[in-house]
Amino acid sequence: MGSSEESVVAVIMVGGPTKGTRFRPLSLNIPKPLFPLAGQPMVHHPISACKRIPNLAQIYLIGFYEEREFALFVSSISNELRVPVRYLKEDKPHGSAGGLYNFRDLILEDNYSHIVLLNCDVCCSFPLPEMLEAHRSYGGMGTILVNKVSPESANQFGALVADPVTNELLHYTEKPETFVSDRINCGVYIFTPEIFTAIQGVSTQRKERATLRRVTSFEALQPANRSLPTDFVRLDQDILSPLAGKKQFYVYETRDFWEQIKTPGMSLKCSGLYLSQFRFTSPHLLASGNGSKNATISGDVYIHPSSKVHPTAKIGPNVSISANARIGAGARLVSCIILDDVEIKENAVVIHAIVGWKSSIGRWSRVQASGDYNAKLGVTILVIIIKLMTFLYEPGESVLPNKTLNVSVQDEIIL
Amino acid sequence: MKALILVGGFGTRLRPLTLSVPKPLVDFANKPMILHQIEALKAIGVTEVVLAINYQPEVMLNFLKDFEAKLEIKITCSQETEPLGTAGPLALARDKLIDDSGEPFFVLNSDVISEYPLKEMIAFHKSHGGEASIMVTKVDEPSKYGVVVMEESTGQVERFVEKPKLFVGNKINAGIYLLNPSVLDRIELRPTSIEKEVFPKIASEKKLYAMVLPGFWMDIGQPRDYITGLRLYLDSLRKKSSPKLASGTHIIGNVLVDESAKIGEGCLIGPDVAIGPGCVVESGVRLSRCTVMRGVRIKKHACISSSIIGWHSTVGQWARVENMTILGEDVHVGDEIYSNGGVVLPHKEIKSSILKPEIVM
């Protein structure tokens, strides 16, 4: 049993259509995990990272989307990366750990030595091989990827305290109101199969407590007393928090970039982060040109081979152009994601924007936002079939599909 | 025949352009504003023009020497030491306006652009035999101005009503007068308003007559009206089939391009654009409803609308300038910059976008 002793399975949680409403309006047209960043679907990035793990045998995607939404992607990426990828649909919410547990029979089928658990909407360098090495040396049940953030923003995440020498997880609190630590949970984990025992323990405990506990009908209505279903297990509150300090979990710190891709604005920022990573991992994916035969390229730019860009256009930095787009003479694109079948006509300017599928931007138009990725209206989003005539958009309109805009619009969300 | 042009004020509403030159010398349709009036006066035989000014006579006089020679018309200045209002300057220039001939003299307001039907005005003045004639123009919103109430058939003026709340008429004072020398006897050398003091008196004696101005009229003393005025002016050129208007596949509507200006490939110019001497418009540029003054360079792919670009400024590649942006002299807008109604003082570099109308010092 030589090679399969050390084989690894990866599980990527991809969420569902009712979750992640902050990603609208982009998620009205495509499942968020399939939205392209740096020219590849969002979930492609963690999947490629998993491929770097030696002895990676299988990848599962777990989510609430219909299976057909992922069928095409899953078969195409399995072929492309030569690793079996399979989508599993959760029938009901099980919590972040419960989802893993729900499919334990499948996941443990081939006696994997390690389980990598990732969240799809995390943007980072995924240092998985190094993290696996560290995990082996720690010898615990699980290793959590952590990142240092500013103390002011730490309370938005899961805060961890770890022993600086042994790297053991000593304390874990989800979204603390007061300051606990500036190290936060990145949503990337490596577990040994013992994790399933731990999850089952929580489940059993909850069942026992439910039968033992007798409350008045009034008490039963109070939110605190409303007990969770027995198969609903949260990784953070139900596993990591209680088991912190018991030599079960360890941390591995990354100094690289880390972001959560919750909003369309963040997708633009993360697309830029992945593009700059390509410079080291896959420079052949980046475009180049100086205006003589190809368009002038500035900074990190991805252009799908099927798209046409006029040589007098200037593209970049941080631009990703998807398939079948046509970029006309003298156009200027800065910090934007151009989706499939978009037409950008002569001399148009697009800055800090996401231009949706089949949109058309007229000659000398300007689409521009402030570029503050976190501001509600910091990035302009045009979604599907917008015919933009010769005018300007001010910071952040979100425009819903199938609209024609003939006049200048400023600071609005257009329905 | 003589004429007086009331130049007066500092032109604060046309700043930042008037920070570089006195208002009468600000170009309109590729010609200093005051030259439009002087040429119209010359055309009907005026031999001497007096400019009633209250500041910067030296700058004015230098230009004027140039016009004097070219047009063969005498141009002098009458400088107020204190503001004399709209009638006082006439008293100040009395000696220059009256000669033995007893002919009437014109008084023009320097902010006004119109067809200047001065010959018709002379005929009108002779026919009614009154002491003073004024041009009036019809407007949509008379309560913003001073309304002239007149008898329709003869044009005899009954009274003036300043900013009337109820509708009394839709004709307002167009700022073009033809006055008999006797009018000067009514004006003392002190701050006096011609509309509030002098004309009402003449009207009460039934000696003031008004003629409705045919054609367009605009007070171009502020940027928005300047841009509208250009449209009206170019429209009147089109009606006369003027050869001055540009044509070509890259031209839309009425466009004036000085012969020394250069326009690149793939541009789209117009409607209602004036491009001044020595300008360079690079390829892929879109200009509409704007004035580009002498020596301006517009770089590739830029887009300018409803704006005024001051002398020797540059607008960078892919920049967008619109919504009543006024660039003063020697202003440089960087590449890809957006200006939404920026009012930029002279000798500035704009390196970050102006997202909402504001003054940039």
* One-letter-per-residue 3-state SS of chain A: CHHHHCCEEEEEEEECCCCCHHHCCHHHCCCHHHCEECCEECCHHHHHHHHCCCCEEEEEEEECCCHHHHHHHHHHHHHHHCCCEEEEECCCCCHHHHHHHHCHHHHCCCCCCEEEEEECCEEECCCHHHHHHHHHHHCCCEEEEEEECCCCCHHHCEEEEECCCCCEEEEEEECCCCCCCCEEEEEEEEECCHHHHHHHHHHHHHHHHHHHCCCCHHHHHCHHHCCCCCCCCCHHHHHHHHHCCCCCEEEEEECCCEEECCCHHHHHHHHHHHHHHHHHHCHHHCCCCCCCCCCEECCCEEECCCCEECCCCEECCCEEECCCCEECCCCEEEEEEECCCCEECCCCEEEEEEECCCCEECCCCEEECCCCCCCCCCCEEECCCCEECCCEECCCCEECCCCEECCCECCCEEC
**Cis peptide bond upstream of B271, omega within 30:** yes
In the three-class reduction of DSSP (H, G, I as helix; E, B as strand; rest coil), residue B56 is classed as coil
Is the model's pLDDT at B42 over the cut of 50? Answer: yes
Is the model's pLDDT at A1 over the cut of 60? Answer: no
What's the whole-number average pLDDT of chain B? 91
- Are A283 and A265 spatial neighbours (Cβ–Cβ below 8 Å)? no
| pLDDT tens digit sequence for A293-338 | 899 999 999 999 999 999 999 998 999 999 999 999 999 999 999 9
Please tell me which residue, A286 or A1, carries the higher pLDDT value: A286
B170 alpha-carbon distance from chain centroid? 22
CB contact A390 to B (< 8 Å): yes
Question: Which chain B residue lies closest to A366 (C-alpha atoms)?
Answer: B320
The arithmetic mean of pLDDT across residues A195-215, rounded, is: 78
List CB contacts (< 8 A) between B353 and chain A.
368
The arithmetic mean of pLDDT across residues A19-48, rounded, is: 88
How confident is residue B71, by pLDDT bands cut at 50, 70 and 90? confident
Q: What pLDDT does residue A151 have?
A: 82
Contacts of residue B339, defined as CB under 8 A and 6 or more positions apart, other chains included, come to B307, B319, B320, B321, B322, B325, B333, B350, B353, B354
Q: How many CA atoms lie within 13 A of A213 on its CB side?
A: 14
Between CA A74 and CA A300 the distance in angstroms is: 28
**Cis peptide bond upstream of A317, omega within 30:** yes
| pLDDT tens digit sequence for A145-155 | 999 988 888 77
The arithmetic mean of pLDDT across residues A53-78, rounded, is: 94
Q: How many CA atoms lie within 13 A of B151 on its CB side?
A: 11
| pLDDT tens digit sequence for A118-131 | 999 999 999 999 99
Contact B320 A363 (CB under 8 A): no
Question: Which option is the CATH number for A8-262: 3.90.550.10, 3.40.640.10, 1.10.150.170, 3.30.499.10?
Answer: 3.90.550.10
> B292 — phi, psi (to 5°)?
-115, 115
Q: How many CA atoms lie within 13 A of B328 on its CB side?
A: 23
Is the model's pLDDT at A114 over the cut of 90? Answer: yes
Q: Determine which of A314-318, A319-323, A362-366, A388-392 has the lowest per-residue pLDDT on average.
A: A388-392
**Where in chain A are all domains bearing CATH 3.90.550.10?**
8-262
| Nearest alpha-carbon partner for A2 in A141, A107, A111, A116 | A111
The arithmetic mean of pLDDT across residues A223-233, rounded, is: 68
CB contact B79 to A (< 8 Å): no
Q: Determine which of B193-197, B258-262, B303-307 has the lowest per-residue pLDDT on average.
A: B193-197
Residues of chain A with pLDDT > 70, as a percent, come to: 83
Contact B303 A394 (CB under 8 A): no
Count of C-beta atoms within a 10 Å radius of residue A317: 15
How confident is residue A224, by pLDDT bands cut at 50, 70 and 90? low
Q: Determine which of A240-249, A380-389, B80-89, B206-215 has the lowest per-residue pLDDT on average.
A: A380-389
Interface of A with B in 302-361 (CB under 8 A): 312, 314, 329-330, 332, 334, 346-347, 349, 351
CA distance A395 to chain B (A): 9
Per CATH, the homologous superfamily of domain A284-414 is Hexapeptide repeat proteins (2.160.10.10)
Contacts of residue A78, defined as CB under 8 A and 6 or more positions apart, other chains included, come to A84, A85
Q: What pLDDT does residue A386 have?
A: 37
Q: What pLDDT does residue A404 have?
A: 47
Sign, Cα dihedral of B89, B95, B96, B102 = positive
Residue identified by tokens 């425009």 is A399
How confident is residue A365, by pLDDT bands cut at 50, 70 and 90? confident
CA distance A311 to chain B (A): 14
- Are A352 and A268 spatial neighbours (Cβ–Cβ below 8 Å)? yes
Contact B284 A347 (CB under 8 A): yes
Is the model's pLDDT at A200 over the cut of 80? Answer: yes
What's the whole-number average pLDDT of chain A? 84
How confident is residue B61, by pLDDT bands cut at 50, 70 and 90? confident
Question: Which DSSP letter does residue B347 get?
Answer: S
CA distance A389 to chain B (A): 13
Between CA A32 and CA A15 the distance in angstroms is: 9
Contact A334 B268 (CB under 8 A): no
The arithmetic mean of pLDDT across residues B167-187, rounded, is: 92
- Are B180 and B132 spatial neighbours (Cβ–Cβ below 8 Å)? yes
**Where in chain A are all domains bearing CATH 2.160.10.10?**
284-414
Q: What pLDDT does residue B350 have?
A: 95
**Cis peptide bond upstream of B277, omega within 30:** no
pTM over 0.90: no
Between CA B94 and CA A257 the distance in angstroms is: 81
Q: What pLDDT does residue A5 have?
A: 59
Residue B194: exposure state from Cβ atoms within 10 A (0-12, 13-18, ≥19):
buried
Count of C-beta atoms within a 10 Å radius of residue A243: 19
Q: What pLDDT does residue A210 have?
A: 67
List CB contacts (< 8 A) between A392 and chain B.
320, 322, 338, 340
Count of C-beta atoms within a 10 Å radius of residue A234: 17
